[in-house]
Structure 1
Amino acid sequence: MEKYFQIFKDSYVGYFNYLLDEITRFHWENYFYGLIVVSVVVWLLELLFPWRKNQKVFRKDFWLDTFYMFFNFFLLNLIVLIFLSNATAAVFNDFLGLVGLHVSDFELLNVDALPYGLGLLVFFLVSDFVQWNTHRLLHSVPILWKFHQVHHSVKEMGFAAHLRYHWMEPVVYKSILYIPLAIIGGFDVTDVAIVHFTALTIGHLNHANLGWDYGILKYIFNNPKMHIWHHAKVLPKHTKYGVNYGISLSIWDYLFGTNHIPHNGRDIELGFDGDEQFPQHFIHQSIYPIKTKKRKYPYIRVQKEKS
């Protein structure tokens, strides 16, 4: 128990000092200013090339999503995720130790043994594929969908909607991602920063008010014209839980048949069945999935096509 108390202490002290350093000192792996730069650039693209021209500059819930963006990116780590990540790693290692194993025993690939670009690509592909599968779980498992509804409560799309999600989501993502990444060794802070900012930029663009699909590259990269259908309030008849689950890459949806872009989705209604009952404010949205024992409406969105 003393070991985990020390992990708790070191996690919070270490992350507080890290966050202070991020805010007060610029460096190339700086997540704080990196988030601001990426957000401002994508927002300017929205203003210069708006897909929905009647959408306001400060769209519905713009400031709520901006708060979510900084809360989930920084404060959430300070409050829970850093300790949880460190504690999970310690518990997993302790469990393996009981049977005479170590996490390094599961390492199947060391990216240092590959050419730098190839190793980085492997790291990116593994991370994205695991997150694509996790995203499907968020839609198909009832308790997880209750948390994921926070993200799908967005009614007007914009870049900051990318990081509107319940604090339980990264707990699920990080827990599932831990073991697959444990089998890949050799990546460093710079590798993580490159993959992270690539995913951040693509995610911002996916949610932005931009009518782009990247041409032939739409079959590889997720894009605004594809992702808008993931947020559609009305589901197609052929699916039960959702479509277009891609995080950074669309290729998984095309490979596994979950792609769906029937027509230009610029003006489709966003949300989920019963979202008019969903809370409008951060605190209420955060506690809603926890305090709600019985749903007033099904967790699966409407399964029908518009006539």
Structure 2
Amino acid sequence: MEKYLNIIKNSYSGYWNYLKNEVLFPNHWDNYFYGLIAISLIVWILEIIFPWRKNQSIFRKDFWLDIFYMFFNFFLLNLIVLIALSNTAAEILNDILKTIGLSLTKFQLFNVNNLPKWAGLIIFFLISDFVQWNTHRLLHRVPFLWNFHKVHHSVKEMGFAAHLRYHWMEPVVYKSLLYIPIAIIGNYNAKDVAFVYFFAIVIGHLNHANLGWDYGILKFILNNPKMHIWHHVKELPKHVRYGMNYGLTLSIWDYLFKTNYIPHDGKDIELGFEGDDVFPKDFFRQEIYPISKKPK
């Protein structure tokens, strides 16, 4: 027990020092705090210059709520719970495996660190994105998980910051299901995968932005605003009752597994979900909603 308490303590102190240095002493290119701000400003400017829904305000509905979610989920949530929880859960899993004479290293298919850097990063990215695509499907198909995912789908007007409006339970689910696949191929440190994460942030911001782009032929590889708008449509067709277009960064999984759906230009479709008119409108009540309501 003392070992786990020390992990929790070190996780808090370590991440606090990291966050403090990110904000106060930005002296490296892979600074997530200012990187997120820079990406957000660039995509917001693109929204202002090339608005798809021209009647949508620059400061759209829930703009400031989503800005708060963006910084809370990307930084403060890690400080409050995620880093400590992730580190402790990983150690507990390793200890359980040791009691039965196993370890994750025994299941390791290969180590991406032994490959050329570019090849390892591509494999890391593809596996991560595929696992997250499947996890996203689960968030829609499992009523218990959908209750948490409703927070993200409560967006009524799309904009870049809607990308990071989600309940704190979602990254717990994503990280839990991603842990073992990443463990069996080896893992890079945060600095090595910074480019992958920045790329995912850019595509995620663009997917939710007020932009009418599909990237031409690249739409079959990259998720895009014209595709992702249909993921947020309020009235789902009967043949896709659990949703569609689950891709986070890549759209290729949806085309491969036939979960793609773009019937027409979705510029003016209504967003949300059935019953969203009574869904909480503020951060605190949205956070407690899933534990106060039974899943349907």
TM-score under structure 1 length normalisation: 0.94
**1:29 Cα shift?**
1.6
After superposition, where does 1:1-307 map in structure 2 within 5 Å? 1-26=1-26, 27-185=28-186, 187-293=188-294, 299=296
Aligned equivalents of 1:105, 1:84: Cα separation in 2: 24
1:238 partner SS: helix
* Amino acid paired to 2:190: V
**1:25 Cα shift?**
1.4
Aligned equivalents of 2:169, 2:187: Cα separation in 1: 29
Aligned equivalents of 2:223, 2:236: Cα separation in 1: 19
**1:104 Cα shift?**
1.6
Residues 1:49 and 1:284: Cα distance change in structure 2 (over 3 Å): same
Aligned equivalents of 1:224, 1:287: Cα separation in 2: 30
1:191 partner SS: coil
How many residues align structurally?
295
Give unpaired runs (5+ residues) of structure 1: 300-307
Task: Tell me whether 96-105 or 219-228 shows the greater mean CA deviation.
Answer: 96-105
Kindly provide the CA deviation profile for residues 25-77 of structure 1, in whole angstroms up to 9, marking residues without a partner as x.
Answer: 11112110111011011101101111011110100000000000000001100
Aligned equivalents of 1:120, 1:18: Cα separation in 2: 23
1:136 partner SS: helix
Give unpaired runs (5+ residues) of structure 2: none
Aligned equivalents of 2:40, 2:154: Cα separation in 1: 21
TM-score under structure 2 length normalisation: 0.98
Aligned equivalents of 2:135, 2:253: Cα separation in 1: 13
Aligned equivalents of 2:187, 2:229: Cα separation in 1: 36
1:185 partner SS: coil
Aligned equivalents of 2:163, 2:282: Cα separation in 1: 17
2:240 partner SS: coil
Aligned equivalents of 2:113, 2:15: Cα separation in 1: 27
**1:192 Cα shift?**
1.9
**1:103 Cα shift?**
2.1
**1:239 Cα shift?**
1.3
1:241 partner SS: coil
* Amino acid paired to 1:12: Y
**1:227 Cα shift?**
0.0
**1:186 Cα shift?**
5.1
* Amino acid paired to 2:185: I
**1:187 Cα shift?**
2.2
1:280 partner SS: coil
2:210 partner SS: coil
RMSD: 1.0
**1:114 Cα shift?**
2.3
Aligned equivalents of 1:238, 1:259: Cα separation in 2: 12
Task: Tell me whether 98-107 or 138-147 shows the greater mean CA deviation.
Answer: 98-107
Kindly provide the CA deviation profile for residues 66-102 of structure 1, in whole angstroms up to 9, marking residues without a partner as x.
Answer: 0000000011001110111001110110011101222
